[in-house]
Structure 1
């Protein structure tokens, strides 16, 4: 499954007029994978813990788009042309899958660093993601780290609902930030969120050059 293969990626998110559509692969396939992997193990204290998928974390340096991030599997990459606010742009993607979750970093390359265009692109991405689960994004402020030290302001949404042709339940947790002529979108898409420590690993690892 590859968010970066556009034929599959359309199933998770929407482009024009929505940034990414549906799921990286059909959600019923995701659900089947979860069922196959969802064996419970007993620990000495008697608690039952769900077995977690293998997270083979590795740091990815993307010099072209100016960021580094840690992904839970070998990423795949692709790009396509989109249109935002009447202007043609390029969106590039790097994605990796762990269990039933897809971890994705998208970069929209803007024609200029115009703040109004940055805001329009951020809104386009936020509303497009939320629309996939028939939700409205309620963005909250967050901070995005710089590789050289310091932070820049960004935004974050968490939405859950039903989407796709079969109206499957899915969850999207995403962060967004604009810097110069680039707007970035980090997203985890799944029928349930991965363990908090894995989500934290992904989001905290993202740093802008």
Structure 2
């Protein structure tokens, strides 16, 4: 009997020692109009962007797990600022794409779908970027941009991304298709 108890105790200890590095949790962000599945508790930062002589609120929720940063950036535009959406989105995309020396048309991408909070499925694109660096750290990223109409007839611009700051074992598209990354993208649910 004592021997069986020792075996059970040893197994229990081994199971607690093997806890996974990813602690998936649903994060509700009603102010930003989405829910998402993060692999840990994200930090939340807010700031105001100065764009075309206007102040625009931006929120970033992000968590770092080993070599990866999972993040969701939300820019909220009022209905009076709706005309800024195309140029602002172009600038956001351009900043990342220029760092990877690609354009929107030449970047490695895949057509995909995302699901809204009311279960509607909408087409979008995911981009897979590789950043060349002069240092020892290689970086790659999967990123998705989504624009949605906000309840006040304003607009939300979302940037959902995972930045990997270490050499990837395989090409970026295959690497970011692993479950640890696809869960994050698949479970993002805007209103």
In structure 2, distance between residues paired with 1:90 and 1:155:
25
Moved over 4 A (4+): 113-116
1:194–1:155 CA distance, 2 compared to 1 (3 A): closer
- Which of 128, 132, 140 is the matching residue for 2:99? 132
Which residue of the partner structure matches residue 188 of structure 1?
Answer: 162
Instruction: Deviation per CA, 1:161-205: give whole Å up to 9, x if none.
Output: 214x73742101101110121100000001335661111100000
User: Contact between 1:144 and 1:177, CA under 8 Å: does it hold in 2?
Assistant: no
Q: Measure how far apart 1:89 and its partner are.
A: 1.1
Q: How many residues align?
A: 156
SS of residue paired to 2:35? strand
- Which of 107, 116, 128 is the matching residue for 1:146? 116
Q: Does residue 1:199 correspond to 2:181, yes or no?
A: yes
User: Contact between 1:176 and 1:185, CA under 8 Å: does it hold in 2?
Assistant: yes
Q: Measure how far apart 1:110 and its partner are.
A: 1.1
Q: Does residue 1:179 correspond to 2:161, yes or no?
A: no
- Which of 118, 131, 141 is the matching residue for 1:161? 131
Q: Measure how far apart 1:134 and its partner are.
A: 3.5
1:140–1:195 CA distance, 2 compared to 1 (3 A): closer
TM-score of the aligned structures, taking structure 2 as reference length:
0.71
Instruction: Deviation per CA, 1:25-84: give whole Å up to 9, x if none.
Output: xxxxxxxxxxxxxxxxxxxxxxxxxxxx71111000001011000011110000112234
Task: Quote the RMSD (CA, aligned, Å).
Answer: 2.4
1:147–1:68 CA distance, 2 compared to 1 (3 A): same
TM-score of the aligned structures, taking structure 1 as reference length:
0.65
Which residue of the partner structure matches residue 49 of structure 2?
Answer: 82
SS of residue paired to 1:147? coil
User: Contact between 2:176 and 2:182, CA under 8 Å: does it hold in 1?
Assistant: no
More helix by share: 2
- What 5-or-longer segments of structure 2 have no aligned partner? 1-19, 150-154, 169-174
